[in-house]
Structure 1
Amino acid sequence: MSAADEILDIVDENDQVIGQAPRGEVYARGMRHRAVFVLVRDGEGRIFVHRRTETKLVFPSLYDMFVGGVVGAGESYDDAASREAEEELGVVGLPRPVPLFKFLYDDGGGRTWWSAVYEVRWAGAVDPQLEEVAWYGFLGEDEMERRLREWEWVPDGRAAWERVRGRRPGDA
């Protein structure tokens, strides 16, 4: 089964499930769904940053300060956060990511999803998926703030980062 065939829950403005559809259709039709964002810090508190591969369905080749992805049909946010983080980092035994908040991402152009944001610390080695990650590194917050002005970042990750940094009040 390809990523485009994965079944996702379709949700309303209150994050209530109203249907299901394959990921490819969800993206093509701009249907609201669910996603998780996991901020990964190493033992020194640096943040795992990566550049997405050019084959990604959404935001190919852009930088991201979160690992994560879509929540599968019937899957909880917590389970999706653990699964996605372990898959993208290429690790087993990651501590359960800690939920921080949830917000509705909407780019105003037909891309909208409920976004649950988490944080986890991992002091071990990582072996990111080649299908997902073209480059990675652990950056201190000062360096990351500089890179925010230099690199092209995924817009939903950037929106989540601004909320993590306390720039956008009112999140649940």
Structure 2
Amino acid sequence: MTTPADEILDIVDEHDQVIGRSPRGEAYAKGLRHRCVFIQTRDAEGRLFVHRRTATKLVFPSLYDMFVGGVVGAGESYDEAALREAEEELGVSGLPAPRFLFKFLYDDGAGRSWWSAVYEVRCDLPVRPQAEEVAWHDFLPDAEVERRLPEWEWVPDGLAAYERLREHRRAAR
């Protein structure tokens, strides 16, 4: 049986060019730069999907996140990964293709670095998040998410993507 740690990822350079491949567990352990997708999901009322990760996650266990998403598999495009990850984590099928917004290089300065493609999608389907990925979830109004930012412990890469998305939307106005 393969585990998430066995999943093969493209390893990329600072310009997002593929320079090799590695199992996910090894990429994490050695701090190899790879690719991830972040999909901001809203329901028909415009509320944001927020969840707390399970304690068994390889990175950032038990922290809150305002995105669904994950790693891009070897040979997979960002767009393919965004749809796959959104459907998997939300527990739905038939989701519209998430809309690409922008990409940035996340680097925490402590050996965690990945190219991060940010998307958005509307989900009108009833969600059934994966129990092995999501410990708690809800759709929250933006004001509630903003209120919870200083109170809850958020995944740092998701928080970085959220802050960049706020700036992206301000600049688009």
Would you say same fold, with TM above 0.5? yes
Q: Give the superposition deviation at 1:168.
A: 10
* Corresponding residue of 2:103: 102
* Corresponding residue of 1:31: 32
* Corresponding residue of 1:86: 87
| Cα distance change of structure 1 residues 26 and 146 upon mapping to structure 2, 3 Å threshold | same
* Corresponding residue of 1:142: 143
Instruction: State the SS of the aligned residue for 1:166.
Output: helix
* Corresponding residue of 1:153: 154
Task: Structure 2: state its 5+ residue gaps.
Answer: none
Which segments of structure 1 move beyond 3 Å, counting only runs of 4 or more?
167-170
Instruction: State the SS of the aligned residue for 1:151.
Output: coil
Aligned mates of 1:167, 1:109 — CA distance in 2: 26
* Corresponding residue of 1:4: 5
* Corresponding residue of 1:63: 64
Does residue 18 in structure 1 map to residue 19 in structure 2?
yes
Aligned mates of 1:99, 1:131 — CA distance in 2: 27
* Corresponding residue of 2:52: 51
Deviations along 1:55-107, one digit per CA (max 9) or x if unpaired, are: 00000000000000000000000000000000000000000000000000000
Instruction: State the SS of the aligned residue for 2:150.
Output: helix
Counterpart code for 1:70: V
Instruction: State the SS of the aligned residue for 2:149.
Output: helix
* Corresponding residue of 1:115: 116
Instruction: State the SS of the aligned residue for 1:150.
Output: coil
Q: Give the superposition deviation at 1:139.
A: 0.6
Question: Are the aligned partners of 1:163 and 1:169 in contact in 2 as well (CA < 8 Å)?
Answer: no
Question: Are the aligned partners of 1:104 and 1:112 in contact in 2 as well (CA < 8 Å)?
Answer: yes
Q: Give the superposition deviation at 1:32.
A: 0.2
Task: Structure 1: state its 5+ residue gaps.
Answer: none
Instruction: State the SS of the aligned residue for 2:167.
Output: coil
Q: Give the superposition deviation at 1:123.
A: 1.5
Question: Are the aligned partners of 1:9 and 1:17 in contact in 2 as well (CA < 8 Å)?
Answer: yes
Aligned mates of 1:116, 1:59 — CA distance in 2: 18
- Between 158-167 and 3-12, report the one with greater CA deviation: 158-167
Q: Give the superposition deviation at 1:169.
A: 9.4
* Corresponding residue of 2:131: 130
Q: Give the superposition deviation at 1:156.
A: 0.2
Taking only the aligned residue pairs, the percentage that are identical comes to 74
| Cα distance change of structure 1 residues 7 and 151 upon mapping to structure 2, 3 Å threshold | same
